[in-house]
């Protein structure tokens, strides 16, 4: 049994991954933005151990979330799933980039880290900006996984493109397979399959996939970490 923390697990892919992991017998800790959403998450994913609350757009709440998670011990895997799409540049920066960065830096180091990226990262720009597009923030997740592959060689840190799937974010008409949209995260978090024992890779439907080669740029990766540290006050 593995112990797994999933951000943004009151809805969408995070909730579906949580339910699948509970069904497999794992210990799952949920996360939601508010007490109300937290109660809803626990109702939706019966069997989950508990839910931690934090609005990820607030740096202080993110820091408090890391402390609450650390009070539960060390997780085997953390799925950095929470994200926003149609949101201000400020929200995109905070929820999609700074929150996963800060939680990664502050939480006890797990064996496996999974970051939700997107096929849209292909049009993301690696140059740092405090007003990122959604695509930029999803490129950041791959850059973070690649930086961790260099800096924390004992950890498996990977990014996932779930496909364009019908969640609140994806919309009802999204063409891709919803089940395949969360299976890869579940697999990377728990499987003994050799294919999961890698780091700094980008997966789609349990296969390594083509990605933006800008993510290879070590200088840009380190600049991303430095800017995240400057904006959050959280040292890597
Ligand atoms: N769906 C797609 O087609 C697609 C494609 C590519 C990548 N992705 C990525 O997959 C991940 C999951 O997406 P999804 O489709 O499952 O989206 P979703 O249905 O909109 O769910 C996103 C989750 O993140 C939470 N969240 C958002 N802002 C938050 C905040 N400030 N504080 C705390 N929690 C917050 C949401 O909470 P509430 O429910 O309370 O709002 C929700 O639980 C995202 O990172 C997304 O970028 C999705």
H-run or E-run covering 149:
helix 134-151
Report pLDDT for 188. Answer: 98
Of the listed 19, 63, 115, 134, which one is catalytic? 134
Correct CATH for 3-232 of 3.30.70.1060, 3.40.50.720, 3.30.1330.10, 2.60.120.620: 3.40.50.720
List the Cα angle 115/82/193 in 5-degree steps: 35
Q: Is 164 exposed, middle or buried (0-12, 13-18, 19+ CB in 10 A)?
A: middle
Arithmetic mean of pLDDT over the chain: 98
Structure confidence by residue, pLDDT tens digits, 207-221: 999 999 999 999 999
Report pLDDT for 68. Answer: 98
SS (H, E, C) 172-200: CCCCCCHHHHHHHHHHHHHCCCHHHCCCC
- Cα 195 to averaged position of ligand 1 atoms, centre (Å): 26
Structure confidence by residue, pLDDT tens digits, 36-72: 999 999 999 999 999 999 999 999 999 999 999 999 9
Hey, whose CA ends up nearest to atom 47 of ligand 1?
A: 83
- Cα 203 to averaged position of ligand 1 atoms, centre (Å): 18
Per-residue pLDDT band for 133 (boundaries 50, 70, 90) equals very high
Which atom from ligand 1 is nearest to the alpha carbon of 37?
40
Per-residue pLDDT band for 121 (boundaries 50, 70, 90) equals very high
**How is 39-107 classified by DSSP, letter by letter?**
HHHHHHSTT--EEEE--TTSHHHHHHHHHHHHHT---SEEEE----SSS-HHHIIIIIIIHHHHHHHHS
Report pLDDT for 100. Answer: 98
Q: What are phi and psi of 133, to 5 degrees?
A: -85, 170
Q: What residue ranges line ligand 1, CB within 6 angstroms?
A: 8, 10-14, 33, 37, 55-57, 81-84, 95, 116, 118, 162, 164-165, 167-170, 174
- Cα 19 to averaged position of ligand 1 atoms, centre (Å): 16
Which atom from ligand 1 is nearest to the alpha carbon of 94?
31
Buried b (16+ CB within 10 A) or exposed e, 61-91: ebbebbebbeebeebbbbbbbbbbbebeeee
Hey, whose CA ends up nearest to atom 3 of ligand 1?
A: 164
Radius of gyration, alpha carbons of the chain = 16
| In the chain, domain spans | 3-232
Of the listed 19, 101, 115, 138, which one is catalytic? 138
- Cα 32 to averaged position of ligand 1 atoms, centre (Å): 11
H-run or E-run covering 4:
strand 3-6
The C-alpha atoms of residue 43 and residue 38 are separated, in whole angstroms, by: 9
134 is catalytic: yes
Report pLDDT for 115. Answer: 98
Structure confidence by residue, pLDDT tens digits, 79-91: 999 999 999 999 9
- Cα 83 to averaged position of ligand 1 atoms, centre (Å): 4
- What does pTM read for this prediction? 0.99
Q: Which of 167, 175, 202, 209 to mutate to test the pocket of ligand 1 (most atoms within 8 A of CB)?
A: 167
Report pLDDT for 66. Answer: 98
Dihedral (Cα; 217, 219, 220, 224), 10-degree rounding: 140
């Amino acid at each position: 049994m593995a112990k797994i923390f999933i951000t943004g697990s009151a809805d969408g892919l995070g909730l579906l991954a949580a339910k699948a992991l509970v069904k497999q017998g794992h210990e799952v800790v949920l996360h939601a933005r508010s007490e109300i959403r937290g109660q809803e998450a626990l109702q939706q994913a019966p069997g989950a151990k508990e839910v931690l609350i934090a609005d990820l757009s607030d740096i202080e709440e993110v820091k408090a979330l890391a402390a609450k998670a650390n009070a539960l011990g060390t997780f085997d895997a953390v799925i950095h799933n929470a994200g926003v799409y149609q949101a201000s540049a400020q929200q995109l920066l905070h929820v999609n980039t700074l929150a996963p960065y800060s939680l990664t830096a502050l939480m006890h180091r797990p064996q496996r880290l999974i970051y939700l990226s997107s096929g849209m990262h292909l049009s993301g720009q690696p140059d740092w900006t405090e007003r990122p597009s959604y695509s930029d923030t999803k490129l950041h997740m791959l850059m973070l996984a690649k930086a961790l592959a260099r800096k924390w060689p004992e950890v498996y840190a990977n990014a996932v493109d779930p496909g364009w799937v019908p969640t609140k974010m994806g919309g009802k008409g999204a063409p891709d397979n919803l089940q395949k949209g969360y299976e890869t995260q579940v697999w990377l978090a728990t499987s003994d399959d050799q294919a999961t024992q890698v780091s700094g890779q980008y997966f789609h439907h349990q296969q390594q996939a083509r990605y933006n080669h800008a993510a290879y740029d070590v200088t840009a990766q380190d600049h991303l970490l430095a800017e995240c540290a400057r904006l959050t006050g959280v040292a890597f």
